Structure 1
Amino acid sequence: MQTRVELNSTANKIYMFDEVYPYRAAQEQAEKKKLSAFGIIAKLNPLKRPRPETVLLAKEALRFEPMWHINARREVDYTCELTYPVPVNNPYAQSIEIDGKLFEVSRQQNRAKIELQVSEKCHRKIDYTAFIDGLQRDIKPIVLESYINRYKFTEVAEVCNEDALIPQVPLVSVLQQATANLHSEAINAHTILFDTLSIERAHLFFRPVFAFEYIWTTADKKGVIEVDGLTGEVIENGEWYKDKINRVLTREMLFEIGGEVASTLLPGAGIAVKAIDLMSADKQTSRSLSD
């Protein structure tokens, strides 16, 4: 049975989080933590460690880091061929006739039964939700989910902000993960009648993060302090990312999925991809995903 993959018309959206933590406060936090930008070993080295006068700010930036929110559902109609044991309460019954068909009664100790061969008509829904860091870092999904639940964001039709970072996890990889997860669920089917996988939500978020790069002049080393633009959390020994979006990224560009890409979702499975009205979704401003 061929699996059909559907991309719903409102699935592909791009959101930008509104900056909460101000630049001045982030800069003060970075200055307080700048000696930690080179790792804990350097900081604790009694012979050679960074000192306030030897660590200087080289450059700073407000960047927007990508993260994905994915919702998908697999629906399967199928049949199961089973044998139903049916208790027989009459101790004297030798056989039972059902709709003109005779069933012999089998007995074991004080229990009696007949066995019916049945075909179950079944329908099953399997849901998948994921929050994925777009820079391939080991950030817990619950942390990424908390950003969406707690902070304001705005839907945009395109990203032209030169400080937005290019997602290192492309949409195809995200869809591969969703598809593999949904198809890993075992279905005890004799015959699959209908099998569809629907991408309900494939949202790309950009989160503000302040980055401050410091130079340890006496050791000729560089280090980065990051400050979350939503929570104000400080990340010591951070990273300076260079791969920024250098052209306009539109919502439609995220979903340029044809047969070649479709074959990568489940190689050899013969998946048919149906893009449903990708250009029809209205532009909206929202702070929740409930609509």
Structure 2
Amino acid sequence: METQLNPAASVYRILVFDEVYSARAAEEQAEKSKLSAFGTLARLNPLNRPKTETVNLSKSELRYEPFWYVAARREIDYLHEAVYPLQIANPYARQLEIAGQTIEVLANGNKPRVELAVNELCHRKIDTLLYQDGLKRPIRQAKLQGYVERYRAVEQQQLDLPGGVTPQMPFASVVQVIKSQLAAEAIDAHRIDNDLLEFVSANLYFRPVFAFEYLWTGAGKIGVIEIDGLTGEVVEDGQWFRDKLDTVMSREMLFELGAEMASTVVPGGGFAVKVLGKLTQERNGRP
């Protein structure tokens, strides 16, 4: 399967959702749920359970978690060998001549027939969609799709996003998932003449999440409550992500994306390597 690069800049985009749920509402909701931040067993333990006065907020943040939306199409030109049964109307026919070739008529009771061996020249399009969490968590695709369909996201030409979480799944890995999905479609071909993979849309989204870290002083334990900044959904077994994007992703980086993609078979793979490499260099103080 050969990858075909779509040169349109509108195909590869970075978008950020504005939070719908306010910071104050998120904190109030987290306070109501804070005793659940340490697991069900801790909450049900009659001898040592978290209490309102022993669980206190230690820190909080608004972060932006990445996920991918990719739409791709596979187009295949191929040859399929087939046999076409053809019923013969003349009961006295014993042979047919077609394009200089003699074909025997097969007796079939009162319905004589011939079998024509043909080559079918076929063209097939297979479309696929992928919604993939950028932190490699098993988040349902329907949930991520709901964000895209219901909430407004703004495209960023220069991404200056405090609290943006660094994607752990680069685009090159997403491409491999897409290829696996498309390859799973059976193609009944005796010869493949052309097999192209084209990306119709490849968007990296960042969605807002409020995180509240609580300290249970009686047990010396830490728990995290997450509040979805779009839906207000509460996650009681939350996480605290330390690896953040701490530099501006400029338009020049996006241009480097185009240049790198033009020289690689897997579009976007070079982009992830180059951007993350640049972030690492800047963190280490190198130019």
Normalising by structure 1, what TM-score? Answer: 0.85
Give the corresponding residue for 1:270.
none
Aligned position for 1:190 = 190
Q: Distance in 1 between the 2:140 and 2:152 partners?
A: 20
Per-residue deviation, residues 83-127 of structure 1 (Å, max 9, x unmatched):
211111322221122233221101133432111121111100011
Tell me if structure 2 keeps the 8 A contact 1:226–1:234: yes
Structure-2 residue corresponding to 1:209: 209
Distance 1:130 1:80, change over 3 A: same
SS in 1 for 2:112: strand
Identity %: 47
Name the counterpart of 1:282: none
Alignment of 1:272-291 (within 5 A): none
Number of residue equivalences: 266
1:155 matched to which residue of 2? Answer: 155
Matched, 1:48 2:48: yes
Distance across 1 between alignment mates of 2:153 and 2:5: 27
Structure 2 residue identity aligned to 1:113: R
| 1:230 match: secondary structure | coil
Q: 1:263 to 1:237 in 2, by over 3 A?
A: closer
Give the AA of the match of 1:32. K
Instruction: State the alpha-carbon separation in 2 of the partners of residues 104 and 135 from structure 1.
Output: 64
Judge which range, 26-35 or 112-121, deviates more: 112-121
Please list, as runs of the form range in 1=range in 2, the aligned pairs for 1:73-84 lying within 5 A after superposition: 73-84=73-84
Equivalent positions of 1:183-262 (< 5 A) are 183-250=183-250, 251-252=254-255, 256-257=260-261, 262=266
C-alpha distance in structure 1 between counterparts of 2:194 and 2:202, whole Å: 24
Q: For 1:253 and 1:29, locate their aligned partners in 2 and report how far apart those are by CA, in whole Å.
A: 42
Shift of 1:36: 0.4
The Cα offsets for residues 193-234 of structure 1, whole Å up to 9 and x where unpaired, read as 222110111100000010000000010000000001101111
Higher relative contact order (CA 8 A, sep 6+): 1
14-23 vs 87-96, which moves further: 87-96
Partner Cα separation in structure 2 for residue 186 and residue 211 of structure 1: 44
Quick check: 1:172–1:261 contact (8 Å CA) kept in 2?
A: no
Asked if 1:59 is matched to 2:59, the reply is yes
User: Which contiguous aligned blocks of 4+ residues in structure 1 show a shift greater than 6 angstroms?
Assistant: none
1:56-135 correspondence runs (5 A): 56-135=56-135
Whether contact under 8 Å (2:172, 2:267) holds in the other structure is no
**In terms of mean alpha carbon deviation, does 217-226 or 115-124 score higher?**
115-124
Seen in structure 2, the aligned counterparts of structure 1 residues 4 and 135 have a Cα distance that, compared at 3 Å, is closer
Is the Cα contact below 8 Å between 1:12 and 1:254 reproduced in 2? Answer: no
Q: Which has the higher helix share?
A: 2
Aligned-partner Cα distance in 2 for 1:254–1:86:
56
Gap change, CA 1:55 and 1:160, over 3 Å in 2: same
* Alignment gaps of 5+ in structure 2: 272-287
Q: Quick one: which amino acid aligns to residue 266 of structure 2?
A: A
> Which residue matches 1:6?
5
- What is the CA–CA distance in structure 1 between the aligned matches of 2:20 and 2:69, rounded to whole Å? 21
* In structure 1, C-alpha distance between the alignment counterparts of 2:262 and 2:155, rounded to whole Å: 25
Cα displacement string for residues 229-280 of structure 1 (whole angstroms, at most 9, x for unaligned residues): 1011111121111110122234446564466663999xxxxxxx9x9xxxxx
Matched, 1:171 2:171: yes
Provide the residue aligned with 1:145 in structure 2.
Answer: 145
Structure 1, unaligned runs of 5 or more: 266-272, 276-291
Of 95-104 and 237-246, deviating more is 95-104
The structure with more strand, counted as a fraction of residues: 1
Q: Is the 8 A contact 1:176 1:264 kept in 2?
A: no
Q: Distance in 2 between matches of 1:214 and 1:240?
A: 11
Structure 1 contact 34–225 (Cα < 8 Å) conserved: yes
**Cα pair 1:62 1:211 within 8 Å, conserved:** yes
Aligned equivalents of 1:29 and 1:235: distance in 2?
A: 11
Letter in 1 for 2:120: E
